[in-house]
Structure 1
Amino acid sequence: MSSFDLTPPSDTQRHTIDAGLSDEERRVLLAHGTEAPFCGVFLDNKRDGVYVCRFCGLPLFRSGAKFDSGTGWPSFFQPYDPAHIRYLRDSSHGMERVEEVCARCGSHLGHVFPDGPPPTGQRHCLNSVSLGFVAKGDALPDPLRRGGAEAAGAD
């Protein structure tokens, strides 16, 4: 059970956040698009902190779980909390994949594959545009204006 509020954003909150997205963020997050490989802002990020959902701010992955997969997208072997990710069957583009979406807001993050490193063997292959980054010690974002755990710092 997550210590974060996983209640989906209201229609008003969605509209407010959506208004602040770029066209590319909207295409990837809301229309399940993919950014081009090797161009994402977080591909080579080596800073210590937490990667959060660009739309709702929910913590998704810790920097300690990031690895260089050579694929051109930021990759992680383990989520911040398994309850923060939902998995959907994706049969687009003539292949079977497992899509990852934010468990709170449903925004598209990327896909997970069974070819990652130990200990999980998973490769969560994400779009940088789907993420925000909070440096260790900084406060986590709260775009939904909720109290509680969201006000805590990145660990």
Structure 2
Amino acid sequence: MSEDSQRSVVVERTATGHYVATNVRGGTIGFGTASDDGRGTEFTPVELLLAAIGGCTAADVDVATSRHAEPDAFSVSVSGDKISDELGNRMTGLEVTFRVTFPDGEGADRARAILPRAVTTSHDRLCTVSRTIETGTPVTAVVENT
């Protein structure tokens, strides 16, 4: 692997069930397990996965369409079912739904016309997150001696 291809984050525990992920640029995001009362506002790891899928493909589609026209509205919903079966806990039925509207005008007409192709291209080739999930990349867990 080249230095340019490497991506990483460090996840640190801040309290029981609460964590902060830090990227190499110093950005942070807090997340955790669902609170005991079910009312916690932190994202869970599964919700972060859904956000990563939606964010990755949204960025691809935004770049492709907004060069023609600024959208009036741009929303991406990502959903799926968390199940537990003989394969363990996992998500199934993942679905990414785009809701994008553009104003009237020639540029907006071009943006509307390329929107379906941009979504398909992101799904089929560009979005690293969903491409990784769909190709089934193995994950290796390692425990370092401390």
TM-score when normalising by structure 1: 0.24
Larger Rg: 2
Bigger RCO (CA 8 Å, 6+ sep): 1
Which structure is higher in strand share? 2
Which structure is higher in helix share? 2
